[in-house]
Amino acid sequence: MIKTVEETNNCIRLINSMPYNQRISRGELSRATGLSDRIMRKTIELLRKDGEFIINNQSGGGYTRLEKTAENEIKMMEWVKQEKSRAMKIIKNYMPVEYWLKNQRALF
């Protein structure tokens, strides 16, 4: 959730720079808002948690702010599938270490 005045101002600047249904690269967003790449990504995360549909395609096409319409449903479903896949890869990466740690605790 958005908590500070600075976060609120960053969100407003970002939203004002993102028309609906139009791709915009991180570089373009950074130049348009004056936010660093890191702050911009954090701001997008805050906006998503606040209910904005801002998606990105892993092919490097940039970010898209979607209107919540039936016409955008396929884009939303593709993005959810992409994000679930990314999350599963992360889980698969740490599972061997977690498994090893659990077994080590059993030995002590």
Q: pLDDT of 6-55, one tens digit each? A: 877 777 888 888 889 888 888 888 888 888 888 888 888 888 988 989 99
Give the residue from 65, 7, 17 showing the smallest Cα distance to 39: 7
- Selecting from 1.10.1740.10, 3.30.210.10, 3.40.710.10, 1.10.10.10, what CATH number does the domain 5-107 have? 1.10.10.10
pTM of the model: 0.75
Q: Enumerate the domain spans of the chain.
A: 5-107
- 56-60, 61-65, 70-74: which has the minimum mean pLDDT? 56-60
Within 10 angstroms of residue 8's Cβ, the number of other Cβ atoms is 13
Say which residue the tokens 């600047």 belong to. Answer: 13
* Residue (of 7, 5, 18) closest to 64 by Cα position: 18
